[in-house]
Amino acid sequence: MSALIDRSSAPRHLVAIEATDARRLPAARKRLDAAQRRWLDANGFDARPGSAILLADTHGKPARVLAGVDADDPLAALAALPMTLPEGAYQLAGEGVALDPAQAALGWALGAYRFTRYRKAKRAPATLAVDTATLAAVQPLVEATTLVRDLVNTPTEDMGPEQLGEAVRRLGKAHKAKVHDWVGKELLKANFPTIHAVGRASHREPRLIELSWGKAEHPKLVIVGKGVCFDTGGLDLKPSDGMRWMKKDMGGAAHAIALAGLVMQAKLPVRLTLLVPAVENAVSGNALRPGEVVVTRAGHSVEIDNTDAEGRLVLCDALAYGAEQQPELMIDFATLTGAARVALGPDLPALFGNDDALADAALAAGKAVADPLWRLPLWRPYRKMLDSYLADFANAGPSRHAGAITAALYLERFVPDGLPWLHLDTYAWNDADRPGRPRGGEAMGLRALFALLQQRYGKA
């Protein structure tokens, strides 16, 4: 059941939700009758952000909701209400704190999400009635975020490389796009050696999935997503606590797939290529070993310093292939480094870019749509941290310093000079439940990058 409905087809009786804060609470009280004010006092409602109270009319039926909000955080304002208010239809009142309707509706819908593949939801969410224009603007973002969350939340047994390919095929079918993939030894024949090297130890064959859409005369856009469906760390095996949530290591692919869907649904005038290198980094007799040297698609020889730095290996062949198409812009998403989380925490994706104006535009877009990013530098003197004594460079190094930066510098070697490129090192996960952000898979940076693309190429 959708948490948002068009007001034109909504039930006749809609319960009004008045957003308020401590300063506006006295005015809100004046709009209530004596019984409602007593109920407010009895429950100690003080309009703190995240608080809410349901008020009844003289017949005991729901009449109004007062919701304490932070006016500077409209996305979270109503996000807790879909699962805390009784089932029914609501609308935002005209009085009180003036919230942005689209942001409030998006937060409501994101707060209504529940992952129900393996167990039924305990209840349906309350619904929010919005105008037709708001629904049209918000619903694609809700669906894209839901797709990211569903893909990331699905355990690896049901979301391996093949299933990730099926997700791309469903998307391609929906938008009449062309989908092709290279599987197993086909990767070697087609010169994708690092994707094959990372995934060869698994019983589930590695693959590179390509989706193509749009008119040939439009500017070329390449979107790449890291699709490591489970990461044991390889022979540099992760400890159990580090391995526990590695089903989410395909979160970059989930973001890339969702962003491609938004681009196609909005019919942006681009020639789109989506690339998803999908592997399982497993352990077996033919697993990639530390100390091996792999010659990548781009011709660089790479010493494998650490098999747990596998994401950059699968991405580098995909980036090299994407660059061969001579796009106007290339974007990649990856759950690439724990170092980015140490630097910025779980909520801020690390943004890297080789074009200052483009990176600034991405940061501004993220701020405008309440999907923040934080730029880290491509500090090229740190390339020395990836020096190798027998290959062109290594995939990792002995120092833990600047881990997110050195990973981005590794990827940058596969992006030709002059090709605008953005790299998002994203967490794709909520460690705990918060309003609008339920525990589990999460879209982080998706709306920001879509807003950037809308600005760059024009809205539908």
Residues with a catalytic annotation lie at 238, 312
Task: Give the whole-angstrom CA distance, residue 424 versus residue 123.
Answer: 35
CA 239 to chain centre: 26
Task: Give the whole-angstrom CA distance, residue 406 versus residue 410.
Answer: 6
Nearest to 36 by CA among 68, 69, 62, 67: 62
Task: Give the whole-angstrom CA distance, residue 264 versus residue 405.
Answer: 32
Task: Give the whole-angstrom CA distance, residue 12 versus residue 3.
Answer: 17
Q: Pull the structure tokens for residue 112.
A: 């209504």
State the SS3 of 223-249.
EEECEEEEECCCCCCCCHHHHCCHHHH
Residue 17: exposure state from Cβ atoms within 10 A (0-12, 13-18, ≥19): buried
Alpha-helix runs per DSSP H in 19-100: 25-30, 34-42, 74-77
Task: Give the whole-angstrom CA distance, residue 192 versus residue 207.
Answer: 9
Strands 178-183, 207-213: pairing is: antiparallel
Task: Give the whole-angstrom CA distance, residue 361 versus residue 376.
Answer: 15
Count CB-CB contacts under 10 A for residue 206.
30
